[in-house]
Structure 1
Amino acid sequence: MVETTVPGGLPRITGFPMSTANPDPDEWSGAQLSDDRLRALAVGAYYGRSWGAYNDTVAYLPEPGDRRETRREATIEGLHESWGVDNADDARDTLNRLLTGMHAPLFTLIHPLAQAAAGQSYRTDRGGIASEHRDFLHTLSKFRGYEGAAGLDRDYDAWLQAIKLGIVDGLPQPLNTDATAWDLARVGFIARSAHTAGYLTEDEAWEHLLLALEKAQAHYRNWRQFASGFLTGAIFWAATKDLAAAKEQVAERRAVLHGLYVRPTSPWRRVALHPGAPVFGVSERHAN
């Protein structure tokens, strides 16, 4: 992503029109947190925004006034339906898998192979580099215990098609090769949801949130790089499920990320990913 400046001093990321950013202010409770704790929550800011939640509380608050279910009821249902998480042990297991790499390592393995095959899909002497890749990934899948619909060769075919169909053209270019942010942002979602659901104490949720921050800081220099990794990982995951859905999600997810980057009330404009780094909107840091 390329950063430029637009009237009013707001940054623009090339390919993200200002009109795509939802201007509604981000939610803040006014809680007094350290900058590191604000950073830890900001790692999962995409989901905080999606849920209309405060950016400075672990629990997903405030309670929505126009919904029949409480936040606790909504998180219990969401964790069960989307993650198969129904208790504290489930939540801890999922968080640990995300922290050690749930989808990012697969992307690191599959993306360079698919990218190479997209530019050289057929060779008269051997039938095609993609066939060699599939054989390799099928063997690796069997070794790792992934077969059938869960095979790595299936994920490879899906991502290869995403490249060939131009779905990835809507991602920041050159295409990010590190999708760790996709896993780390979801640590924020699971930790906050599990606490809201009553599965984890606030202290335990903070432990996982701060670990995710530490890993994010080790992988990325700033929120722009983090956003690029998140979006790439999100579309990779979506492509392995449904190519049509992946295509639709590019613009939707980009708009949310762009809003986090340009709104003065966004957590990404209140604290930088790294202490001491420049941050836009620092004068509005504690504004409501």
Structure 2
Amino acid sequence: MTKTIILLIIAFVALMVFNFLVKALWRVRKDGWGAFWGKLKSAGQGPRVDADAHYTEEELRKFSLGNLYVYQQQGTLNTTFATGVLNNVRETILYSYFSIKDHTSAVETLQWLASAPSQTAFHYVYEAFLQGKEGKKWLRAHEELKDHSDFVDDCVEKLENLQNNFEYLVSEGIVASREDMGRIGVLAWDAGRLNFIARLCHEQGFIDKDLCQQCVDVAYEMTKDAYTGWKDYAYSYVLGRTLSMGSANMSGLAKELLEKPESPWSYVKW
């Protein structure tokens, strides 16, 4: 009898380990090794906050628009101009990801983000997505886009990313349906990056405090009437990143910022 119980326990443990490995390999396949190991490293750790920081709700409401990017880069959430991101991480993002190396390139990039380029592309990508298998053909035949081949190529790439990740986005609760996806759009992806990149540029000495504040204010004005709460904003950001990066691996971080009591999104009203 005892031997049977032991065998059952061993079988149960083996099944649990097997299930964990299957889920882990599926997560790696979807998100990549970097995101997987980052998730393991951060397991059990709450968001980073400054216990001595005392900002008004209005200040946190505006500056917290960049918190998904801040959280992803292990910065400090309840801050304003300072992000808490390590110097080498900041330089990698500015120099390598956004090609920002001085004041001029900083201003050009921030103006580009303020123009909501991802939301503009999403207008066409979403319509193409609704066309089903004819989506790519629809994009390339669109009369308004016939003289903008680079933009069309970008839209086609984003369409492929959306098609590859749509079921995962639904399973994660980021979007409830095709219609819901059209409702939330990707404006938060542009606004969130504008907020965060402006603050990095200020920390790097590329822009002054006044210009940084202007960018933060612009990001806030872009989104304050577009969403009714942090949840829609967060999921719009995840959707935008999915279209641009081809991975929906920010969904877990978004949910943590919405739920964890340390996060300003859990106590600051939209």
TM-score above 0.5: yes
Runs of 5+ consecutive residues of structure 1 not aligned to the other structure: 1-19, 63-70, 122-128, 240-245, 274-288
8 Å contact from structure 1 (residues 23, 259) kept in 2: no
Q: Distance in 2 between matches of 1:76 and 1:133?
A: 40
What is the match of residue 53 of structure 1? 75
Inter-partner Cα distance in structure 2 for 1:76 and 1:271: 30
2:148 paired residue number? 144
In structure 1, the residue matched to 2:60 is 38
Between the aligned partners of 1:156 and 1:200, the Cα distance in structure 2 is 35
Q: Which has the higher helix share?
A: 2
Distance 2:110 2:45 in 1: 32
Superposed displacement of residue 271, structure 1: 1.0
User: Residue in 1 aligned with 2:138?
Assistant: 133
What is the aligned partner in structure 2 of residue 169 from structure 1? 170
How many residue pairs were aligned? 223
Structure 2 counterpart of 1:49, which letter? Answer: Y
Taking a change above 3 Å as real, the CA distance of residues 147 and 254 of structure 1, as seen in their structure-2 partners, is closer
Q: Where in structure 2 are the equivalents of 1:33-112 lying within 5 Å?
A: 33-54=55-76, 55-61=78-84, 71-112=86-127
| Matching residue of 1:257 | 254
Residue 124 of structure 2 contacts residue 139 of structure 2 at CA under 8 Å; is this kept in 1?
A: no
Structure 2 vs 1, CA of residues 116 and 90 (structure 1 numbering), >3 Å: closer, same or farther? Answer: same
Point out the structure with max Rg over C-alpha.
Answer: 2
Q: Distance in 2 between matches of 1:30 and 1:193?
A: 21
What is the TM-score normalised by the length of structure 2?
0.73
Cα distance change, pair 255–156 in 1 and its aligned pair in 2 (3 A): closer
Return the letter of the residue paired with 1:152: C
For 2:170 and 2:266, locate their aligned partners in 1 and report how far apart those are by CA, in whole Å: 27
Tell me how far apart the structure 2 counterparts of residues 104 and 196 of structure 1 sit (CA, whole Å): 27
Which runs of 5 or more residues in structure 2 are unaligned? 1-41
Residue 144 of structure 1, CA deviation: 2.8
Q: Return the alpha-carbon distance in structure 2 between the equivalents of residues 258 and 159 of structure 1.
A: 20
Q: Which amino acid aligns with 2:263?
A: S
Aligned residue runs from structure 1 range 204-223, under 5 A: 204-223=211-230
CA–CA separation in structure 2 for the residues paired with 1:254 and 1:154: 21
Q: Deviations over 1:75-133 (max 9, x none)?
A: 1232111111111221221112112112111112111221232xxx3xxxxxxx44640
- Distance in 2 between the 1:53 and 1:158 partners? 28
Structure 1 residue 192 displacement after superposition: 1.4
Distance of 1:153 and 1:265 partners within structure 2: 39
SS at match of 1:44: helix
Q: How far did residue 231 of structure 1 move?
A: 1.1
Change in Cα spacing, 1:26 to 1:151, as seen in structure 2 (3 Å) is closer
1:194-228 alpha-carbon deviations (Å, 9 max, x no partner)? 11211122222111112111211021111011012
What fraction of aligned residue pairs are identical, expressed as a percent?
18
Q: Distance in 1 between matches of 2:82 and 2:117?
A: 24
**Range 72-81 or range 174-183, more displaced:** 72-81
Hey, what's the Cα distance between the residues in 1 that align with 2:74 and 2:137? Answer: 46
CA RMSD across the alignment: 2.7
Distance 1:257 1:161, change over 3 A: closer
Contact 1:35 1:271 in 2 (8 A): yes
Please tell me the residue identity of whatever aligns with 1:48: V
What is the correspondence of 1:235-246 to structure 2 with a 5 Å cutoff?
A: 235-239=242-246, 246=247
TM-score by length of 1: 0.68
The CA deviation at 1:168 is 3.9
The secondary structure found in structure 2 opposite 1:28 is coil
Question: CA distance change for structure 1 residues 160 and 47 in 2, over 3 Å: closer, same or farther?
Answer: closer
Question: What are the superposed Cα offsets for residues 122-151 of structure 1, whole Å, 9 maximum, x if unpaired?
Answer: xxxxxxx446404324x6444235278x45
